[in-house]
A = this chain, B = another copy of it.
Amino acid sequence: MLIVMRHDATDEEVREVMDLVRGQGYDPKPVPGAERTAVCVLGNKNPVDPSPYESLSGVLECIRVTKAYKLVSRDTHSENSVIEVNGVRIGGDRMAIIAGPCSVESRDQLFKTAEFLASKGVKLMRGGAFKPRTSPYEFQGLGEEGLSLLGEVRSQFGLGVVTEAIDHINFDVVEEVADIVQIGARNMQNFSLLRRAGKSHKPILLKRGISATVEELLMAAEYILTGGNANVVLCERGVRTFSAHTRNTLDLSAIPVVKKLSHLPIIVDPSHAAGNREFVIPLALGAAGVGADGLIVEIHPDPEHALCDGQQSLHFETFSRLLDQLP
């Protein structure tokens, strides 16, 4: 950490800073500059908390130099992590495809979708049984009934199932059925849930929070890895900005940035970003362009009558067109 002193800091103030550094067991190194002095903190093994220093008189600001995450960092694990689920390698050379409805609505809807996906060679199916919804009056998912339908589809069509857990109680039942347990954007900093995911033996799909920085996303994954579960797939799904022409602003630059900082694979959800099926294909192709490791796409046999997010779900034929266009 670097502690930058004010322009007019006195020698006494600099000395107090250095004393506090020593008092915390670190080694202070003053760096006099043209306009102001800075003090480097050396000898720390973990990130130094800037709070006590920021409060001292004469201190302008504290600048952290070391990143706060370790296990997810490419510094500590230089090759790409590849997570293999149901024969699909996420993080490998080919884009992994996950598709399915926003939520499980009925046996008919789910089986139609599963049959279609199987016919297209898609091996991973999404479908929510527990749905986090902004309003208490909206459809909240079929719950355990939905899970059991997913289990049937799984054995009948040989599809890997991706479905969301929304608290650490339903995590137990979700984990039994799911091949990948999803943690949604709203729960990216639900640390109890992240700790539960860290104890799971199933891979986790961790979606970026709606206003999370890349660093916060990596820190959330760090919670899971510190718990012992290294099988984490990250997901960019758009962030909230002033810009309202899509439901969220898809931040495709996060893909190369995450791939530089971390060894974990990262996929893209163009459906939640677009919020409108017209823009799903261009965003999916854009994701392929920036080097995403995969896509998670909403499809529905009859989007006009979907109980959730129908306007952003692709018809089967449109999704087939997307598959054809992917590189």
Contacts and interface: CB of A to CB of B under 8 A. Distances in A.
Interface of A: 2, 4, 7-8, 20, 29, 31-36, 38, 40, 42-47, 49-52, 54-56, 63, 65-66, 68-69, 75, 132-138, 166-169, 186-187, 189-193, 210-211, 213-216, 219, 222-223, 226, 239-246, 249-257, 260, 273-274, 276-279, 282-283, 285-291, 303-306, 308-311
**Copies of this chain, whole number:** 4
27 contacts: A2-B2, A2-B38, A33-B65, A34-B43, A34-B44, A40-B40, A46-B137, A51-B304, A51-B311, A52-B310, A55-B304, A55-B310, A63-B63, A68-B134, A136-B226, A187-B190, A239-B242, A241-B241, A241-B242, A241-B249, A245-B253, A249-B249, A253-B279, A256-B279, A260-B278, A282-B290, A282-B291
Given A35-B66, A42-B31, A287-B289, A309 B51 contact: yes
Closest 5 CB pairs of A and B: A289-B289, A211-B211, A51-B310, A167-B192, A285-B289
Contacts of A254: 243, 245
Nearest to A196: B167
A179 to B, nearest CB: 23
Contacts of A277: 55
A137 B47 contact: yes
Contacts of A168: 167, 169
Contacts of A38: 2, 40, 65
A66 B36 contact: yes
